[in-house]
């Protein structure tokens, strides 16, 4: 009979798999709401991928329940589960590594995203971080957008007076970096993306641990069945 300790461990890890699937689905839904920065950091394609991953992990959990409740001598369900877990591991690895690679060129990658935003979104970013321009505000790079508000009494940060001051700052000097939006945007993005791919690699640990635990259960069940057959051949008298 499979040891009680092994089955408890298997059950705990399987519950962690259920939690991982639920977390993936929950955040894929929550992050769809309107949010100035999160909508820049996480695209709809990313959210759909996270949702699909969550559903796949929940399906794997259901397969695991079906596999573990089979009779002791039947291990085909656990074998199928292990193949599904291998697929899970590959999917998690691909998605997590994709996010990690994106963070390696964060400043440039988010510059492309920043330039595609509407004037109103850029204005909100400027006001949030008290910045003008992504890398610079002097017009040297015509693709680096600065939304300047000329209205008298405006509460917007980037006014003609402010931009006239900032455009003379050297972006290469660290003390000046806070005046440009790249610092605020990438700081938020770095925190969010690091948490995302770290969590996904955490899912990988759960999947691989359940895979190993399932292999142990299969091996224990096969060992039990082998001794039962030997015992039966000896007339059911056992070895002692």
For 171-224, the three-class secondary structure string (H helix, E strand, C coil) is CCCHHHHHHCHHHHHHHHHHHHHHHHHHHHHHHHHHHHHHHHHHHHHHHHHHHH
Token pair 């790249």 in the structure block, residue:
182
Q: Yes or no: say if 163 and 137 are a contact pair by the CB < 8 Å rule.
A: yes
Residue 229 lies in a domain: yes
Residue 12 lies in a domain: yes
Residue 156 lies in a domain: no
For residue 234 the two structure tokens come to: 């000896």
Q: Yes or no: say if 148 and 158 are a contact pair by the CB < 8 Å rule.
A: yes
121 SS3 class = helix
> What are the two backbone dihedrals, phi and then psi, of residue 58, each rounded to the nearest 5 degrees?
-70, -40
Element counts in the chain: helices (H) and strands (E): 8, 0
Dihedral of alpha carbons 64, 68, 71, 74, sign: positive
- Of 88, 119, 113, 116, which Cα lies nearest the Cα of 205? 88
What is d(CA 6, CA 220) in angstroms, rounded to the nearest whole number?
Answer: 10
Residue 44 lies in a domain: yes
Q: Which domain holds residue 37?
A: 4-106+200-233
Residue 38 lies in a domain: yes
- Cα 35 to chain centroid distance, Å, stands at 18
Q: What is the pLDDT of residue 3?
A: 78
For residue 218 the two structure tokens come to: 């299969």
Count of domains forming the chain = 1
Q: What is the pLDDT of residue 131?
A: 85
pTM: 0.82
Long-range contacts of 127-131 (CB under 8 A, 24+ apart): 127/155, 127/156, 127/157, 128/36, 128/37, 128/184, 129/178, 129/181, 129/183, 129/184, 129/185, 130/157, 130/178, 130/179, 131/157, 131/178, 131/179, 131/180, 131/181, 131/183, 131/184
Residue 116 lies in a domain: no
Residue 10 lies in a domain: yes
Neighbours of 132 (CB within 10 A): 26
Token pair 């917007």 in the structure block, residue:
156
Sequential pLDDT tens for the chain (240 residues): 567 888 999 999 999 999 999 999 999 999 999 888 999 999 999 999 999 999 999 999 999 999 998 887 778 899 999 999 999 999 999 999 999 999 999 999 999 999 889 989 999 999 999 888 888 766 667 777 888 877 666 778 888 877 777 766 666 665 666 778 888 999 999 999 999 999 999 999 999 999 999 999 998 888 767 766 766 676 655 544
């Amino acid at each position: 009979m499979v040891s009680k300790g092994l089955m408890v461990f298997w059950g705990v890890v399987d519950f962690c798999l259920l939690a991982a699937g639920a977390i993936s689905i929950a955040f894929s839904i929550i992050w769809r709401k309107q949010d100035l920065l999160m909508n820049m950091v996480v695209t709809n394609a990313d959210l759909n991928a996270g949702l699909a991953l969550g559903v796949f992990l929940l399906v794997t959990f259901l397969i695991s329940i079906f596999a573990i409740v089979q009779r002791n001598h039947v291990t085909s369900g656990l074998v199928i589960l292990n193949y599904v877990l291998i697929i899970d591991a590959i999917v998690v690895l691909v998605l997590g590594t994709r996010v990690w690679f994106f963070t390696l060129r964060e400043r440039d990658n988010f510059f492309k995203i920043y330039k595609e935003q509407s004037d109103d979104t850029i204005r909100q970013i400027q006001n949030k971080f008290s910045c003008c321009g992504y890398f610079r505000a002097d017009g040297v790079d015509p693709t680096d957008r600065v939304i300047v508000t000329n209205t008298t009494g405006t509460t917007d940060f980037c006014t003609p007076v402010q931009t006239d001051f900032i455009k003379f700052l050297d972006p290469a000097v660290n003390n000046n970096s806070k005046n440009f939006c790249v610092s605020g945007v990438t700081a938020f993005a770095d925190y969010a993306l690091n948490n995302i791919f770290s969590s996904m690699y955490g899912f990988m640990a759960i999947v691989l641990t359940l895979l190993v635990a399932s292999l142990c259960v299969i091996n224990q069940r096969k060992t039990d069945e082998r001794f039962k057959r030997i015992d039966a051949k000896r007339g059911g008298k056992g070895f002692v």
